[in-house]
Homo-oligomer: A and B are copies of this chain.
């Protein structure tokens, strides 16, 4: 690809001709006003215009997916809506390698246009200038495995539950139990950052203390992702506290703080950034609106997340297993060398979920998080952790879960308790 352009792929729907709709997008996002204005020379247009690279016609439908589109006047009584995949190239010199400027260009006002009854940014290809500006994941897969000391299998983790309401004392006790039960990873809930009833600093002191004590006993230090999401100054202070106390991970709700704040945290960060995507559905759940995960995860990785949530297989969320599998593969696709992020699976996960995940992705470079699926295991948390590991062992061995469970009581107990949900 041309090293001096950004190439964006859109899924669009329009009551106009596909050529006209594509030209409107290219015009709106490079130079556009409703009448020609002085200074808008042909030479200028040529150097700075976005270029429509391809239009792949898809199906035509009778009703618009989104409100507010306007059909061409001569056509209003028998309007149909054409869908297409459109590829548009934007000259990099129009905006430079800045994530906020990129977003204004490849997304921005597009979604408002009357010429479109559907518009989704599906993917974006970025030139190397972005890698010169943004260092990307500071730890990535290798750095995370090294810090967590987990190799040859997924990181098995859990989320502190109940997400809301635990006192610092209860948290301390819980973290001690979880760490001693053999969990590789513990994380705060995305709802839980710096609440009034259990301030961040108290929580971090309590949890890191327990993790250190447990590590002294077991020889293994559990990684804990402390949710530092908040105002910019808070995040920097919160990171510094975690780092100072020996913590090994911080969590950021990417959409709650925004990409500029995430990239700013990354520049100051000495720890892996666990990227949560809460709120992603608001811009992604409608198939003809917003920003798709392929585009989204690239920007997250560029801005510096080391881990990125992708939903779960057989989860309580709306995405299909196929979509979640594609999201896992997307995070692991090389970009600018090793700007890869480790995908994080969660939501209604348990031991059995390992098999369809592995079948769909053939990777072990994931976090596999379970809440109830681990700590509500009939044999207790340690048995829950073992059952998750056994699920992955079965997946890697190509054995059925039931066969593998015959000689593994933890897995057998998990199947008995949670099997109705698989």
Contact = CB atoms under 8 A, between A and B. Distances in A.
A93 B286 contact: no
A343 to B, nearest CB: 16
B255 A257 contact: no
A48 to B, nearest CB: 4
Contacts of A286: 66, 286, 289
Interface in A224-243: 229-235
Interface stretch (A74-82, A101-109, A401-409): A101-109
A96 B33 contact: no
A62 interface: no
B44 A162 contact: yes
A190 B68 CA distance: 22
A278 B40 contact: no
Contact of A98 (B231, B285, B316): B231
Interface string A36-75: 1111100011011000000000000000001111000000
Interface stretch (A138-146, A259-267, A385-393): A259-267
A110 B166 CA distance: 22
Interface stretch (A204-212, A334-342, A353-361, A368-376): A368-376
Interface string A108-148: 11111110000100000000000000000000000000000
Contacts of A34: 316, 348, 371-373, 421
Given A190-B109, A260-B231, A260-B235, A318 B279 contact: no
Interface stretch (A24-32, A179-187, A213-221): A24-32
A258 interface: yes
A285 B103 contact: no
Report how many copies the assembly holds: 2
A316 B114 contact: yes
A169 B51 CA distance: 26
A406 B230 CA distance: 57
* Of listed A119, A159, A164, A317, residue having the most chain B CB within 10 A: A164
A307 B236 CA distance: 29
Given A34-B348, A232-B232, A286-B66, A256 B104 contact: yes
A328 interface: no
A195 B96 contact: yes
A243 B411 CA distance: 65
A333 interface: no
A109 B255 CA distance: 11
B100 A231 contact: yes
B94 A191 contact: yes
A363 interface: no
A287 B67 contact: yes
A282 B278 contact: no
Contacts of A39: 161-162, 166, 170, 174
Contact of A371 (B33, B96, B114): B33
Contacts of A255: 103, 258
B281 A261 contact: no
Contacts of A105: 191
Nearest to A380: B38
A1 interface: no
21 contacts: A30-B163, A34-B371, A35-B372, A37-B162, A39-B174, A67-B285, A93-B195, A93-B196, A94-B191, A94-B195, A104-B278, A109-B278, A110-B281, A112-B317, A112-B319, A119-B281, A257-B258, A258-B262, A260-B260, A261-B261, A286-B289
